[in-house]
Amino acid sequence: MKKISTVATKQIRNFSEQKLTIGFDLGDRSSWYCVLDEAGSVRLEQRVSTTPKAMKEVFGGMPRSRIALETGTHSPWVSRLLSELGHEVIVAHARNVRLIGESRKKDDRLDAQTLARLARIDPQLLCPVKHRSARAQADLTVIRARAGLVRARTALVNTARGLAKSYGERLRGCNVRNMNPEKAEVLSPELQKALEPLLAGIESLSERIGEYNEGIEQLVEQRYPQVARLKQVKGVGTLIALTFLLTLEDAHRFRKSRDVGCYLGLQPGRRNSGQSEPQMHISKEGDPYLRTLLVQGAHHILGPFGADSDLRRWGLKLAERGGKSGKKRAIIAVARKLAVLLHHLWVSGEIYEPLRNQTAMPAAA
């Protein structure tokens, strides 16, 4: 990576009297930025290393500018750094900027220029998003790291069970939390020898996951008393409640609680044109992990161990009239209503009443 040229440095210093718009296409090792002046003319196009030091050298000497960049791996820390340097930062939703994603002429330089021109004309064309704070991201990283271990443990458990079945034998028990080398004692000697290291790895992962669980509980006690408010809903545990708080971070960013369901991709998409109004699947936008947790919570609410509540009764009634796919639709609908309910409890601070509408809705069998 070559250093910033002296010519580029002099050009940056000469921008002090102009209102600049900058498009910033982030890459893993290097990034490309394009500077437009007030008339929309390209004043500078340059590469820069994707490091805090290099970006401070480039953008620290510029006057306050409007900088547009796309969502991605580096966008959270880059957007925070540029904001600290005094710039107006717009983080574009990468999936929604079709002018870039579906362009037939696509490279870093052109992407940066397109971002700059869209930001100069109307920032709303970029479908801007808001990144969470550094603290919220750090706390959410703990949850995401735990989720990574859970996925790895599930994959190893499935591998062990599959190998045993292909040999004509089965591992005892179905609880992945208790999967350890002792489970292989009933297997043939040759299969025990093959699976013992695998089962020991699963046991180790379970121990690490337990440590994460303890750390998350401590985190809630120290910083997030609002979690207790959300856990009033049966089926919502510490993990769901804390992930919900950290993902949304600011409860007042939504004008209505109903907007949360759409934000998390639990609302059906729309493609209406003329008289055509096709039924579409949910959009699946927003955070996929939180959406998965909310669906898991909905499964518990509608399951055999779910506590009686207005939400459960409504979901069961919806499942009864939905035909073959009624249960699936009901689970998604309950997950959406659960997200709305959690946001309402968070904002209002109300005491949750599970059977507030019991007179209006008959009890489910």
Convert the pLDDT of each residue in 12-43 to its tens digit. 555 555 689 999 999 999 999 999 998 889 99
Q: How many domains are contained in the chain?
A: 3
Question: What is the reported pLDDT for 2?
Answer: 45
- In a domain, residue 266? The reply is yes
Question: What is the reported pLDDT for 6?
Answer: 53
Q: Quick one: 153 and 81 in the same domain?
A: no
Q: Quick one: 198 and 261 in the same domain?
A: no
Judge contact between 227 and 245, C-beta under 8 A.
Answer: yes
Q: Quick one: 233 and 344 in the same domain?
A: yes
This prediction's pTM: 0.82
Question: What is the reported pLDDT for 180?
Answer: 81
CA distance 312 to 41: 59
Please, what are the averages of pLDDT over each run of 10 residues along the chain (365 residues)? 51 64 94 92 93 94 92 94 94 80 76 92 88 92 96 94 90 78 85 91 94 96 95 95 94 90 81 60 83 95 93 92 83 94 94 78 47
Question: What is the reported pLDDT for 51?
Answer: 95
Question: What is the reported pLDDT for 47?
Answer: 94
Question: What is the reported pLDDT for 10?
Answer: 55
- In a domain, residue 177? The reply is yes
User: What CATH number should be reported for the domain holding residue 61?
Assistant: 3.30.420.40
Question: What is the reported pLDDT for 132?
Answer: 87
Q: Which domain holds residue 144?
A: 134-223
